[in-house]
Structure 1
Amino acid sequence: MSETGTGAQTQSGSLTRFLLAILPKTSAGRKLAAGAAVDSIGSGMFLAASTLYFVTVVGLPAAQVGMVLSVAGIVGLLSPVPLGRLADRTGPTKVYVALLAARGIGYAGFALVDSFWPYAILTCLLTALDRGCSPLQQVVVGLIEGGGNQTRTMASIRSVRNIGLTVGFLLAGAVLATEHRAAFAALFLGNSLTFFVIAVVVERLRRKTAVTDRKAEPAKAAADPAPTHIRSPFRDLRFMLFTVSNGVLSLHDSVLFVLLPLWLTTATTAPASGVSVLLAINTVLTVLLQVYVAKFAETTARALKLIWAALLPLLLSCGAFVGAEHVSVWPAVAFAVLAVVLLTVGENLHSVAVWNLSYEMVPTAARARYLAAFSLGVTGQQIVGPVLMTAVMLPLGSIGWALLAVLFALAALAVRATGGPRTEPGPVSAVPSAPTPTEVTR
């Protein structure tokens, strides 16, 4: 066999081993991950091409498009909680599948949009459905996978989503190059189809899980305590403190996607082209790290310890960002790379830990509405974070990074103090313990 053939086989074998390493352990988990991969390819295509299409092809003013996206963000902030309440009453998986189908129909409708109001109404409606789906995904994975595999499966989904988004970005490049309306319409329809693919996958898994649950229902009914009243998550002080502190700790997201490009070009001597390289480093590391670090959050106790492990690289990244501001070009590049690597490690450790903690501490009977309320902390960060990064962090320079480090430390302390399962009586949700081992969705 030629050396070329041997090399190709070696590369193929390495790729196969890598995919097996990041995929979930169970058949159901692998199906969920495959659906998420298809879903994220559609997301990548839409995110890369939609704004340009509505401005350059449809002819909407850029200011109007920006205004609609801002209003849609506010609508999306309000939608998860009522959808979570609906899911608790009628079944999380049923509502999740219905939302996926509705989003599939809605995103196909973008191919028909040719004026402002249809674009505005459809964008606001779909943003509300998108945000409502996000916390439901965690509930659905928990119901289908069970506690022993939930964290790994959620980590796998995040990994394959990053791969899928990258593929979608590349596929959208071909459409952007043509700038032909029919090509954009095909892109929208392709994105729409991905929602129906994952809806079918989840529905089949739901039916299979329902059959298993019916067989176990007599024993479960005998073991479960009588249901008691569940208070609103917004009246649960400990839970809301956990939600807010997690939102503050999630500021690493705004650092990466809002502050980093501006900071690199205005506060350092590093070349502006380095932004894309740094973002690529983040994407690749996320794919490689998510599943690996998930094994360190298989129990609540380990997830709580993981918050400390996440805090250390986040604090060190702030120091590396400061260092990049006070050196010449190539040392600045090195410091920037180090800062992004540390930030990415902290981000991945944090996200894996809070998947477990948020799932563990919510009442079983109100899991969807509680996790919907929990998602508001991250959404709030997405609203407040960009303003904080551009109006405070960037002008303050090194002092701004010190301030961010203090915020990270205080938020981590609060997450540690408020996270984890409850000790008080009442129906408490817990990922079932096991000797071995949590936006795509969008």
Structure 2
Amino acid sequence: MKGVIPEPGPLRPLALATLLSRVGNGLLMTVSVLYFTRIVGLSIAEVGLGLTIAGLFGLLSAVPLGHVADRRGPRGLFVVLSSSVAVLSLAYLLVDTFWQFLVVAVAVTVLDRGAGAVRAALIAAVTQGSAGRVAARAYLRAITNIGIMAGAAVGALALHFDTRTAYQLMFVVDSVLTCASAFIILGIPRVAPQPKTAEGPVWIALRDRGYLAVSALNAAMSIHYAVLDVAIPLWVVEHTEAPRWTVALLLIINTIVVALFQVRSSRGIQDPTSAARATRTAGWLLLASMVLFAAASDGGAVVAVGLLAIGAFVQVIGELLQSSGSFLLGFDLASDQAQGQYQGVWGTSMSISTMVAPTVLALLPLGLGVPGWIILGVWFAVIGVLFVPVVRWAVARKQTAQVTAA
């Protein structure tokens, strides 16, 4: 990849499709909760319950649909799933009761989680080698942040007008962008399906204890992604002297650093060993950032803003290393003959992390205060240290399985 635009090849349509779809995501992230509460009339509790139930159903789709991608090819399946999500999401505009909201949310989430696994399998199929896959995922993550930021800016217009029409227009724009991004993927050459093996179990990813262990550790570490969204806003407002705009400042720091440095941070990660070591370093950085966030509660406004800003910067450096390590491990420890299945497992573990994170943050930093921040930081450091021996064990298991199969 040279410059901002990737070289001609599969990554270029992937990047454009990612940008368009993430702009749509940014739109809905900005307006959806307010639309369902202010316009439709659902309560916050109903929206939260509906999304939680939908998330639980979504856990069931990634591995099976990833397996279908292995057998049928990921490109066509991704187009079908993404375009289906685009059309079904318009059904939100017809919702006026909780049960209708729940049905639509479940259907959209099941297809969307499956599309995520299929997309990861597609990336694995059209990129070469561990370094190529990590670089591609890093580039696409930077594009993701840019797209969400742009979508949130457009969504702010709907918040300004605060009308049913303005909110509903955002849903329509998201649907159009998602559908367009799906068909842009057709610019990628067709990926041949993996041949079906005559012997052995079908669900090999679910039987791979090494991969499952690394996935679990990665999910436990990935709780840090929710810190800025869930814990920091309440911490800043209720426990520090920092002004409210500090919350936006920290989010801006995170977004800009990821957009500018995600690709660069991935360049030194070439194999599972370097990925595990990068994750170990990330754990120590996350511990340091949690300590800084905690210390912001003891000082005036200037001190609090300074500590929070430094903490956000340290955290995002840890995030860059952890995410880059995650990109490699998710692909490299998987069997190339079943990348769809394995990416389904990886995606499911991340979905579980996303569901668990708010509860963990409510119990620790928001519930216990400063001690809770320290406990959370130690948690990240310990998980990071565990990555090195667990990844070594998973690599040895994979090598033994390959020798046995040969």
**Which TM-score applies when normalising by structure 1?**
0.83
Q: Would you identify which runs of 4 or more consecutive aligned residues in structure 1 move more than 4 Å?
A: none
Matched AA of 2:154: L
- Structure 2: where are the runs of 5+ without partners? none
Q: Which residue of 1 aligns with 2:134?
A: 151
Shift, 1:359, TM fit: 0.5
Q: Which residue of 2 aligns with 1:397?
A: 369
Shift, 1:366, TM fit: 2.0
Matched, 1:252 2:213: no
Q: Which residue of 2 aligns with 1:10?
A: none
Matched, 1:264 2:236: yes
Shift, 1:288, TM fit: 1.1
Secondary structure of 2:59's counterpart equals helix
Deviations 1:380-400 (A, max 9, x none): 222222111112232323322
- Give me the whole-angstrom Cα distance separating, in 2, the residues matched to 1:320 and 1:185: 41
Residues 254 and 46 of structure 1: CA distance in aligned 2, closer, same or farther (over 3 Å): closer
Say how many residue pairs are matched.
399
Shift, 1:377, TM fit: 2.2
- Give me the whole-angstrom Cα distance separating, in 1, the residues matched to 2:348 and 2:389: 20
Matched, 1:417 2:389: yes
1:33-432 correspondence to structure 2 within 5 Å: 33-147=15-129, 148-207=131-190, 229-230=200-201, 232-419=204-391, 421=395, 422-426=398-402
State whether residues 363 and 427 of structure 1, in contact with CA within 8 Å, keep that contact through their aligned partners in structure 2: no
State whether residues 57 and 179 of structure 1, in contact with CA within 8 Å, keep that contact through their aligned partners in structure 2: no
State whether residues 24 and 152 of structure 1, in contact with CA within 8 Å, keep that contact through their aligned partners in structure 2: no
Deviations 1:296-333 (A, max 9, x none): 22333432332233223212212222322222221121
Residues 347 and 22 of structure 1: CA distance in aligned 2, closer, same or farther (over 3 Å): farther
- Give me the whole-angstrom Cα distance separating, in 2, the residues matched to 1:119 and 1:402: 39
State whether residues 300 and 360 of structure 1, in contact with CA within 8 Å, keep that contact through their aligned partners in structure 2: yes
Residues 255 and 185 of structure 1: CA distance in aligned 2, closer, same or farther (over 3 Å): closer
- Give me the whole-angstrom Cα distance separating, in 1, the residues matched to 2:240 and 2:49: 32
Shift, 1:165, TM fit: 1.0
- Give me the whole-angstrom Cα distance separating, in 1, the residues matched to 2:255 and 2:380: 22
Tell which deviates more after alignment, 226-235 or 414-423: 226-235
Matched AA of 1:48: T
State whether residues 162 and 283 of structure 1, in contact with CA within 8 Å, keep that contact through their aligned partners in structure 2: yes
- The RMSD of aligned alpha carbons is 2.6
Matched AA of 1:88: D
State whether residues 248 and 411 of structure 1, in contact with CA within 8 Å, keep that contact through their aligned partners in structure 2: yes
Matched AA of 1:426: Q
State whether residues 283 and 385 of structure 2, in contact with CA within 8 Å, keep that contact through their aligned partners in structure 1: no
- Structure 1: where are the runs of 5+ without partners? 1-18, 430-442
> What percentage of residue pairs aligned between the two structures are identical?
27
Tell which deviates more after alignment, 69-78 or 282-291: 69-78
Shift, 1:337, TM fit: 0.6
